Structure 1
Amino acid sequence: MPTSRRYGDACPIARALDVVGERWALLVVRELLLGPLRFADLRRALPGASSNMLTDRLRELETNGVLVRRRPAAPAAATGYELTDTGRRLEPVLDALGAFGSTLPATGAHLSATSVLLYLRGSGRPRAAGTYRLELDDRVFTVRSHDGRVVVVPGEPGTADASLRTDPVTFNALLADPDALPGLVAGGSAAATGAVDRLLAG
């Protein structure tokens, strides 16, 4: 059963926390910022959340209009979850939390693909113009950099200037140390074609 609790406070901040203040709720929203995901995708992105906990959070967020379930036409396909317009209004909130969290000591070893891509998009560090294919944990993303702005969308780019396949933790390490790419490719932790260093180094 859902375990949500309410503050009973008329303050708008408290009312917002009534909706997204439970544990894992905002991280579910974070994972859906780059597009719809299946339950299995969310479980993999949030390994610390039990199936029951994740089910409760999804149900509560749906009840409060933050996300919706999309039932596929094909019988064998899994139900997906995506943010509503109301849910997308939380994006600047998460951006602000990310900026705040970046000043705190890092804990834990897990990083989801979405979390590191949101950092790439919002870091403010200029990236070389181009279109890049990025594959993280078997999820493919298109990364476009133009006029100092980075856009990340799920799916194949069609034509890409460069491509990189790795895992989120390794990609995060490469953003901090682009010179490590040749060694990681040689060791099998990454596969790259084209001038990927233009994306990594900016």
Structure 2
Amino acid sequence: MFDGKSILQSAFLLTDVTGVEIFGMSIMHYRSNGIFITRGGSHRIIGNRINGVLNNGISVSSSSGNLLWKNEICYAVDGIAIVGGSVNNHVLENLVTLCGDDGIETFFLDDNNNVLAGNVAVKNGGFGMEIWGDNNLTAGNGLIGNRLGGISVGQGSSSAAVGNLVQNSGSRGCFLINHNNLFFGENRVEANLREGITVLSDFP
């Protein structure tokens, strides 16, 4: 167990390194991120439990080729944040719940070619998933009871959102904003407080 006692910043900080595996750890009570990856890449972050951190559960910044698989995250800001030009990452079968903002996000226009599949995001304060950038795949995720909505797809191009369950959102189910050539299909959208799908786009 890694307990920061609300004093230490992060349990793991991986900077400019490659090929690290963090498996089966229990991480709690850190003042920043549970796991922070910046630059480098090809890490395997598998089966960890992260609870009660003051920033993000897992942050990936300017990094590529990472596998984030079967982690459980609660009581963070964002559960998993893929930012700063992070590409070719696989975010698979994670459980993110009770976070203050988004469950899982790719947040900038240069966060491209990422796969987010089979994750469950429940009762987070923002969106279950917020996706920006190009050629990102969001497939087979369960996005349930999130306050702002199940999924938001922001600016970028050529992404796909398929086979997701969006249910019981506190606002819109799906929010699609100025994303060129988005494929959005076979999603189950039900019992949301406002519109099931809202499209805001400058494109005809």
TM-score by length of 2: 0.30
Higher relative CO (Cα under 8 Å, sequence separation at least 6) belongs to 1
More helix by share: 1
Considering only CA atoms, is the larger Rg found in Structure 1 or Structure 2?
A: 1
TM-score by length of 1: 0.30
More strand by share: 2
